[in-house]
A = this chain, B = another copy of it.
Amino acid sequence: MLFSTVMTRILVATLALLLLLTDISAQDKTIAERLGYPRDAKLLIVHADDLGMAHSVNAATIKAFESGLVNSGSIMVPCPWLSEIAAYARANPQADLGLHLTLTSEWTSFRWGPVSSRDKVSSLLDKDGYFRLTESDAAAQADPKQVEMEITAQIERARALGIQPTHLDSHMGTLYQNKALFEVFLRVARSQKLPVRVAKTWFSRADFLPSVLTQDDVYIDRVLDINPTVPPQEWARFYSDALKKLEPGVTEVIIHLAYDDAEMRAATADHPDWGAAWRQRDFEFFTSDTFRKLLQENQIKLITWRELAKLIK
């Protein structure tokens, strides 16, 4: 073997090793690093769900956006107050607004149904022609092809109204209920080049997630949300403690804003969980000086889905 041949082979092998190491390094990069922040940065998206559902939700969320402390939200296209929030989106094109893809209609006094023709998405509907009340029932009955048609129709309707969504998520988590629905969700999101709400911390409870996601998908580290076991008087303490203990990386705190007014009380009648008073408490905490100070004192930086969307190839 000639010396030059040996040298060439060594050179090629070294290059291959370097490429491999670079690739491992890229894979090793945290989502914070991919966004251009240090590995130990604490990055937070403060995300209000359910826009378009009711006027009370729209009004409280827009007020919270104006505070600068709530900086992201997602819109329910099938809901009656879509036009009001679409007008806001057109007037505020910099706002970080995604779509809260909707396949359930969970309140009993106040309901909605599909954007698609009802006869084409019958597996999504209850006997009264509305979406089903619960995410488990919706997921159990849904034909994935009809889900794909309906969520695509919701995205198209939003775009037709001048909404340019920065991300997608799923009302009541229906699209994370099983692998078939999540595959539909991800396929639609990829075709739209939009990130979906997925947290690494969910991998343990939804074991199909890592098998469907690839390196090219953009997802966050964790989600923080309050739950019905927290009594009302502990609301601020729950969030304060969570923010003080916030780990590095990208966290999304999912909140539900509205006023505790006549419309919202009637809409959520007999459902204290995620009800009118719950949403007023979220509004009060996330527009408070307490929250502003917690962000400062704990070096928490607010980011949006708009930044995450830029990582999508």
Contacts and interface: CB of A to CB of B under 8 A. Distances in A.
A41 B47 CA distance: 63
B110 A83 contact: yes
A55 B261 CA distance: 11
Number of copies: 2
A116 B118 contact: yes
Contact of A119 (B58, B112, B119, B160): B119
A81 interface: yes
B56 A262 contact: yes
Interface string A275-303: 00000000000000000000000000000
A43 interface: no
Nearest to A88: B109
A90 to B, nearest CB: 13
Contacts of A129: 115, 157
A267 interface: yes
Interface residues of A, number: 35
Interface string A44-75: 00000000001110110000000000000000
B157 A59 contact: no
Contacts of A111: 80, 82-83
A120 interface: yes
Contact of A266 (B55, B115, B160): B55
Contacts of A192: none
A75 to B, nearest CB: 14
A128 B112 CA distance: 16
Nearest to A79: B80
A197 to B, nearest CB: 26
A134 interface: no
Contacts of A259: 262
Contacts of A84: 109-110, 266
Contacts of A263: 54-56, 261-263
Given A55-B267, A80-B80, 6 more contacts: A56-B262, A79-B80, A84-B109, A117-B119, A118-B118, A259-B262
13 contacts: A55-B262, A55-B263, A55-B267, A56-B262, A82-B111, A83-B109, A87-B108, A117-B117, A117-B118, A117-B119, A261-B261, A262-B262, A263-B263
